[in-house]
Amino acid sequence: MVEQLSAYGIEKVGIVSLSQNSMKENNEVIWGAMQEYPDFVVGYADIDPKEPEAFDEIDRTLGDMKMNGVKFMSWKHGYNVENCPQLEPVVDAIARYGVHIQIHGGASPLCTPYVWTLFARKHPEINFVFTHVCGREFGTTCIELIRDIPNFFVETSANEEMDILREAVRVLGSERVVFGTDWPYKPSNIEVDKIYELGLTDSQLEDVFYRNAERLWDTPNA
C-alpha cells in the first residue's frame, strides 16, 4: 500500500480494516500499520455498535491507540442504521474524543444516509464523512441532505459518476469534498485522474487532495 500510493504523490492516508473476523481483530491490524508507518498511516477504528464490547473498543482505539477516526460499515456488520438503537449511544461515546466519523454510503439498503444527518446535527462539534459520495444510488440525495450541515463532508473514492462529483463541489464547495482511493479495490490512478477531470482551480484541488483531510485530522488524537 505505502509503495503504491506513494507513487501517486500520496504522503499520508487514513485506513480501516474490515476483512478480519471481529472489530477487535480489524483494529489490531490497523494498530500494527500505525506502528510500522507512523508518518504515513492514520488509523481509523472499526466499531460495530451491536457488539457488547463496542464502548470498551472505542476507549481502547481512540483513547489508548489514538486512532484518529471511526468507520461505520453497516452492511459488513449486518445492521440497518435506521433500526439500530445501539447506534446513538455509540456515536455519543465517539464524539467525546473529537475524532471524525466516516460512513460507508450507498451500495446496500443497509447503508442509507438519512439517519446520519440527525447525528451530525446533534454533534456539530465533530465531523462526519459519507464515503464514495454514497455511490450512484444515493449520491445526489446525500449531497442535498447535507447541504446545510457544515460538519458533513463527502469522500470521492469508488464513485466514477462525474456529474455527482461535480455536483458535490458545486453544492458543498471544495472545502467539504475529500479525496480518497478505496485502496486496494480501485485503481489509484483513476481515483487521482478523475479529480483533475473535474476542472477545479488550483486552490480547489488543494482543498480536495489534502487540506480537507488535514482539517479532519486536526483533533486531540493527531
Are the C-beta atoms of 76 and 47 separated by less than 8 Å? no
Which of these, 128, 122, 123, 124, lies nearest to 142 by C-alpha position? 128
pLDDT confidence of residue 106: 75
Please indicate, yes or no, if residue 203 is contained in any of the structural domains: yes
Strands 45-46 and 128-131: unpaired
Helix, strand, coil fractions of the chain, as percent rounded to 5: 50, 10, 40
The count of domains in the chain is: 1
- Its domain, for residue 161, covers 2-216
Please indicate, yes or no, if residue 183 is contained in any of the structural domains: yes
Phi/psi at 73 (5° precision): -125, 85
Please indicate, yes or no, if residue 204 is contained in any of the structural domains: yes
pLDDT confidence of residue 1: 95
Please indicate, yes or no, if residue 144 is contained in any of the structural domains: yes
Residue/partner pairs of 83-90 with CB below 8 Å, 24 or more apart: 84/49, 84/50, 86/49, 86/50, 86/54, 87/49, 87/115, 87/119, 88/119, 90/47, 90/49, 90/54, 90/55, 90/58
The single residue listed with the C-alpha cell 487532495 is 209
pLDDT confidence of residue 111: 81
Please indicate, yes or no, if residue 197 is contained in any of the structural domains: yes
* CATH number, position 183: 3.20.20.140
pLDDT confidence of residue 85: 95
- The pLDDT averaged over each successive group of 10 residues in the chain (222 residues) is 95 96 96 98 98 98 99 92 94 98 84 92 98 93 97 97 98 99 93 98 99 98 94
Please indicate, yes or no, if residue 222 is contained in any of the structural domains: no
Are the C-beta atoms of 74 and 104 separated by less than 8 Å? yes
- Look up the pTM and report it: 0.96
Please indicate, yes or no, if residue 221 is contained in any of the structural domains: no
